[in-house]
Amino acid sequence: MLNYPNGHHAADPQTRKNSASRRGMELEKEINLTNEYYLQADQAVIYKKPTPITIVKVDYPARNKAKISEAYFKIPSTTDYNGIYRGKYIDFEAKECQSKTSFPIKSIHAHQIEHLERVVRHGAIAFVIVRFVLYDETYLVDALTMTDYIHTCGRSSIPYKWFQEHGTLIPYSYVKPVDYLQIVDRNYAKELAE
């Protein structure tokens, strides 16, 4: 059995919902932990990209020590996560949603939608991971299924119900808090076999 790199063992998956250890740990951190698990298990090589910033000023308070003293956040031109799994290029964006009823489309940048469509055209497996925080439910939705809906729905948000119908719930476990590759195996079996 594989242990988490920190040496922790898997907790009982039954303790999933709202367990104390989980409180306050957001989607990004959980995906990073999951990716680290995949890396240690040599299952996949998938990383979050660093936050894009524009550096304006760098100070050198000591030799060999550079301190960035002025920088600004940039709008990302791509999604946050990419890498390789079973020989395939994987690309996805992850978003938390605080609403109980719908996911605001504006939380995904136009460039990110374009980027997802582009990588799919080039043969990627691409998707969006959306967590409805108040339900503690995390869905994987195929990128094109979601971008097609965005282009045609004429709405500013996607109903929660839509994710129940078109997404797949991602199971939680202590060692793999967002085990999305399990869903990828199932939902992209055809692409992975190519």
Greatest Cα pair distance in the chain: 57
Residue indicated by tokens 């104390």: 20
Terminal CA-to-CA distance of the chain, rounded, Å? Answer: 29
The tokens for 159 are 């109903």
Q: Which of residues 45-74 bind a second copy (CB under 8 A)?
A: 45, 47, 49-53, 55, 66-74
With CB under 8 A as the contact rule, the residue among 33, 35, 113, 115 that binds a second copy is: 115
With contacts defined by CB under 8 A, name the span among 8-16, 119-127, 136-144, 166-174 that binds a second copy. Answer: 119-127
Is there a contact between 81 and 47 (Cβ–Cβ < 8 Å)? yes
With CB under 8 A as the contact rule, the residue among 27, 31, 33, 44 that binds a second copy is: 44
Rounded Cα–Cα distance for residues 186 and 26 (Å): 25
Please report whether residue 131 would count as binding a second copy according to CB under 8 A. Answer: no
List of residues contacting a second copy (CB under 8 A): 39, 42, 44-45, 47, 49-53, 55, 66-74, 77-78, 82-89, 91, 115, 118-119, 121-124
